[in-house]
Structure 1
Amino acid sequence: MTDPTADVPAVAVVGVHGHGASHVARALQAQAEGRARLTAVADPRAGEADHVPTGVARHPSLDDLLAAGVPDVVVLSTPIHTHAELATAAMEAGAAVLLEKPPTATPAELDALLATSRRTGRPCQVGFQSLGSQALDHVRERVADGRLGEVTGWAATGCWMRPRSYWQRSSWAGRRVLDGRVVADGVLTNPLAHSLATALAVAGRQETADVLAVDPDLYRVNDVEADDTSSLRVRLRESPDLLAAVTLCAGERGEPAVVVEGTAGRATLYYAVDVVVEEVPGRPPLVTRHARTELLDDLLAHLRTGAPLRSPLADTGAFTAVLDAVTRSAPPHRVEERFVERVPLPGGDEHRRLRGVEEAVALALSRRALFRELDLPWTRTP
């Protein structure tokens, strides 16, 4: 009897705990809909993954997985500093790759990975999930139609919370460098990297050459090496500047957003929920909700039809240039304890809240200024 699943792409997930569990769930959803088969996973703790169904092969590493058989798609949800090596191995073996963001820790790694993709003919989709949203297309169209007038600035913003346990989740958490390798696990380059990548995508400035200069303004409230509260200004080629203001030390979680300012109005894309709010003076706000294509589904469609990817590796040059500027900049300024409130959490955990940080983020966006340019008390050196 002919196997009805023989022509269904085989998918393997590498790194199945933490965020990797969501990739397992998406692969299983695609399997339930007949578009893929989850055939294998790889993780040093694969045996502890109760969310992986019986019958799915488990391996301790990607090398072991590939030795047992090369799937059509390898999903990589592993530490940032392992991305380049593992994605290279998967593509060299003949698999397409869905690579968690940020794609690489350095521009050199990105260039090498792009060369591997071109040479092997294997596509690499990057896990900026927000780029799968049709909300981006909507905002681009409104800008192109002149709905907002002439664009005067792009912005990326986000106020999130991350407890102490988040920074203790692994040896590389909150690190800029680990054992001589760039890790780049700061707010701008990992947890809220979507805000920056989405803003660059909306602006249509995703190539390395589109980034002319970066002015980072980095701070840390937690006992980490990387930044957890930061602003930066990106000077873009043939475009207004992009301003980012983000934090993981807010009092409560707010929806992160990309803001387009124009001479005739403003559009705010709440990219995590696919909602756009357009504000034009003299008119009521226009709120639109949009569909989203999951990036694994998009990659499977690309393999089937050749349709363009929503988040291809080739479109991450500008983001990686900004990441590189952040990781090469001076270490983040340590915020003095007197500006911090320690909030107890269940189980003995704790969240460090930077007092007034939400207002500081809003002020930075309204004035298009870096935190240090606002002369905030917690930005000063004692």
Structure 2
Amino acid sequence: MREAPQPPCSPPRPGRPRRTPRNGRCRPGCGVRDRSEGPRRRSTGGSPEAPIPYRDLVRDERRPTKLEGNEKVAALKGTHLVLGSLSATVPKIRPVRATIRRNALPLRLVWSLQLKGVAIVGLGGYAAQHHAAFERLEAAGLCQVVATCDPVLDSARVPTYRSLDEMLGRHANELDVVTLPVPVPLHAPMHRQVVDMGLACYLEKPPTLWWPEYEAMMAVESRAVRPTQVGFNFIGDPFRQGIKARIDAGEFGKLKDASLLAVWPRDDKYYARASWAGRKTLSGKPVLDNPLGNAMAHHVQNLLFLSGANEIVEVRARLLRAHPIESFDTAFVSAQLPSGVELRFAATHADSGAHFERETLTFENAKVVFTAWNRAEIHRDGNVEHLVSEIPNHGAMLEHNLAAYLDGIAPTPLSACGPFVSLIDLAFLSSGGVQPIAPSRITQRDGKVSVDGLFDDLNAFAEDGIWPAAPGPSVTPEALFTLQPDRLLADWT
């Protein structure tokens, strides 16, 4: 039997790569390489050179280059995803960014093919983790860290400036992304500066804890060139995204309720580390620092994400403090979704024992329990399915999310943070004020405090909705429009 003739490959067209048949091979003598062959440096003669990874080509080549193969792969280290097969003609690869014909590829793919110019605001604290992650991403050829700024510290790797203004003034035309691992009170003004310079912004969590400020940030965001990503890192983990997909597919039935139980001990040094720590206001401006909004914010957002909470319709809360601070360190909060599902948040920093957290979602046909940020159990029909994230630690998680943002992906854009911010403010409003825990229940040791019987109270509330004492009245989102900064200390003491 004669073989069916293979279709010829398409002739080359200006600005477009040569196409091959679906099986990836052309007829003998055609001269077009197999799909499995990677891009090669153009040779002037002799035997062909070995294929090179696309990331190496981006990092090393600084001249007009045509990528001829179909496997144009930007391989990320470790747990990162790999860009699939792309076909594109990339004109000049510049030291910082590449320019690609506007109609050559979809916008996100165009963005992903560019070598990103990155600036990091800050050097100390959590900013050091950003520098470490970007150093690895830079070694993989996915970005170039152009500059940083810090009022005190200096970087040994890149130019350092004393302010964001100065850094943007010197390097804005070399940048694509600016990351803001800075104190929460600086988020809104720095986000505005970055967006107004036409740059993409990666903003650490929480974006803000004050609803009027969030609305102002969203007004700024409306003119952003790309959605701002907020650093709720766990949301971007494929492990958690996979569970979310199963929930949305209806595998477990309808959601009945969900809860967070979190005990994260914090000592006096934690509240002394920054002028805004444990405060409700700073220099007359709202801060509202608290466990749910800051240290445990990842887990609060996890629960909102997994439960599909696009809106909070009602909140009741009881907020307490054992540490000598303005804000609360212990919370009992109930939030109702439009579907009638109740979310319960039970959290404290007032403990001297071990770190503990548990996210629980109860469905009609199963119970999903996150026993840690990277581990989950699915209880169904007497069986337990154990799931573990492939991302090994928090540093790798941050690197994964930063790499995704460089690739044009924002798992938790600023626009998705409305329920989170409203939850915090409505809890303050419902509580009627932060109540001190009775001194007779408090034990102090080594700068830490613990409260007699508190874990049992928190667990009873998270599991069964049993309040330790009467909560404040129910409040709805309409109350957010009555927020006034000058009433924070007077009404919420």
Name the TM tier (shorter chain): 0.7 to 0.9
Aligned counterpart, 1:356: 453
4+ runs deviating over 6 angstroms: none
Question: Partners in 1 of 2:127 and 2:317 — Cα distance?
Answer: 30
Question: Partners in 2 of 1:78 and 1:309 — Cα distance?
Answer: 19
Higher strand proportion: 1
- Which residue of the other structure, out of 286, 290, 308, is the alignment partner of 2:385? 286
| TM superposition shift of 1:109 | 2.2
CA contact 1:9–1:35 (8 Å) conserved in 2: yes
- Which residue of the other structure, out of 198, 215, 234, is the alignment partner of 1:94? 198
- Give the residue type in structure 2 aligned to 1:117: E
Inter-CA distance 332–135: structure 2 relative to 1 (3 Å threshold): farther
CA contact 2:137–2:143 (8 Å) conserved in 1: yes
| TM superposition shift of 1:236 | 0.8
| TM superposition shift of 1:358 | 2.4
- Give the residue type in structure 2 aligned to 1:158: A
Counterparts of 1:259-338 in structure 2, within 5 Å, are 259-270=360-371, 272=373, 274-283=374-383, 285-291=384-390, 294-302=400-408, 308-328=409-429, 329-338=431-440
Question: Partners in 2 of 1:136 and 1:2 — Cα distance?
Answer: 39
Question: Partners in 1 of 2:340 and 2:355 — Cα distance?
Answer: 28
More RCO (CA 8 Å, sep 6+): 1
Inter-CA distance 237–25: structure 2 relative to 1 (3 Å threshold): same
Mean CA deviation greater in 314-323 or 245-254 = 245-254
Aligned counterpart, 2:223: 119
- Give the residue type in structure 1 aligned to 2:272: Q
- Give the residue type in structure 2 aligned to 1:78: V
Counterparts of 1:227-246 in structure 2, within 5 Å, are 227-246=328-347
Question: Partners in 1 of 2:233 and 2:167 — Cα distance?
Answer: 26
Question: Identity over aligned residues, as a percent?
Answer: 24
Mean CA deviation greater in 115-124 or 221-230 = 115-124
Secondary structure of the corresponding residue to residue 309 of structure 2: coil
Aligned counterpart, 1:380: none
Question: Partners in 1 of 2:346 and 2:381 — Cα distance?
Answer: 25
CA contact 2:200–2:224 (8 Å) conserved in 1: no
CA contact 1:364–1:370 (8 Å) conserved in 2: yes
Q: May I ask how many residue pairs the two structures share in their alignment?
A: 354
- Which residue of the other structure, out of 282, 301, 315, is the alignment partner of 1:197? 301
Question: Partners in 1 of 2:117 and 2:187 — Cα distance?
Answer: 21
Aligned counterpart, 1:166: 270
Asked if 1:343 is matched to 2:445, the reply is yes
Question: Partners in 1 of 2:285 and 2:428 — Cα distance?
Answer: 11
Aligned counterpart, 1:6: 96
Question: Partners in 2 of 1:25 and 1:188 — Cα distance?
Answer: 27
Secondary structure of the corresponding residue to residue 432 of structure 2: coil
Counterparts of 1:44-55 in structure 2, within 5 Å, are 44-47=151-154, 52=155, 54-55=156-157
CA contact 2:369–2:376 (8 Å) conserved in 1: yes
Question: Partners in 2 of 1:169 and 1:121 — Cα distance?
Answer: 35
- Give the residue type in structure 2 aligned to 1:87: H
What are the superposed Cα offsets for residues 354-376 of structure 1, whole Å, 9 maximum, x if unpaired? 233322222112212333259xx
| TM superposition shift of 1:66 | 0.8
| TM superposition shift of 1:174 | 0.5
Asked if 1:63 is matched to 2:165, the reply is yes
Counterparts of 1:215-254 in structure 2, within 5 Å, are 215-254=316-355
| TM superposition shift of 1:9 | 1.1
Secondary structure of the corresponding residue to residue 190 of structure 1: coil
CA contact 1:157–1:195 (8 Å) conserved in 2: no
- Give the residue type in structure 2 aligned to 1:297: A
Mean CA deviation greater in 253-262 or 83-92 = 253-262
Structure 2 residue ranges without an equivalent (≥5): 1-60, 64-93, 98-114, 392-396, 472-493
CA contact 1:81–1:105 (8 Å) conserved in 2: no
The structure number with the bigger radius of gyration is 2
Aligned counterpart, 2:289: 185
- Give the residue type in structure 2 aligned to 1:234: A
CA contact 1:41–1:59 (8 Å) conserved in 2: yes
CA contact 1:135–1:269 (8 Å) conserved in 2: no
What are the superposed Cα offsets for residues 194-248 of structure 1, whole Å, 9 maximum, x if unpaired? 1211101001113xxx111111211111111111111100111124011100111
CA contact 1:154–1:242 (8 Å) conserved in 2: yes
CA contact 1:184–1:190 (8 Å) conserved in 2: no
- Give the residue type in structure 1 aligned to 2:96: A
Question: Partners in 2 of 1:6 and 1:151 — Cα distance?
Answer: 47
CA contact 2:235–2:241 (8 Å) conserved in 1: no
Secondary structure of the corresponding residue to residue 469 of structure 2: helix
- Give the residue type in structure 2 aligned to 1:358: F
- Give the residue type in structure 2 aligned to 1:236: L
- Give the residue type in structure 2 aligned to 1:124: T
Question: Partners in 1 of 2:304 and 2:382 — Cα distance?
Answer: 29
Counterparts of 1:101-112 in structure 2, within 5 Å, are 101-112=205-216
Question: Partners in 2 of 1:193 and 1:6 — Cα distance?
Answer: 34
Q: CA RMSD in A?
A: 2.1
| TM superposition shift of 1:147 | 4.3
Question: Partners in 2 of 1:229 and 1:335 — Cα distance?
Answer: 9
Higher helix proportion: 1
| TM superposition shift of 1:94 | 1.8
Mean CA deviation greater in 67-76 or 135-144 = 135-144
Mean CA deviation greater in 162-171 or 256-265 = 256-265
Inter-CA distance 104–22: structure 2 relative to 1 (3 Å threshold): same
CA contact 1:157–1:245 (8 Å) conserved in 2: yes
Inter-CA distance 45–270: structure 2 relative to 1 (3 Å threshold): farther
- Which residue of the other structure, out of 112, 118, 125, is the alignment partner of 1:18? 125
Secondary structure of the corresponding residue to residue 222 of structure 2: helix
Secondary structure of the corresponding residue to residue 318 of structure 2: strand
CA contact 1:161–1:250 (8 Å) conserved in 2: yes
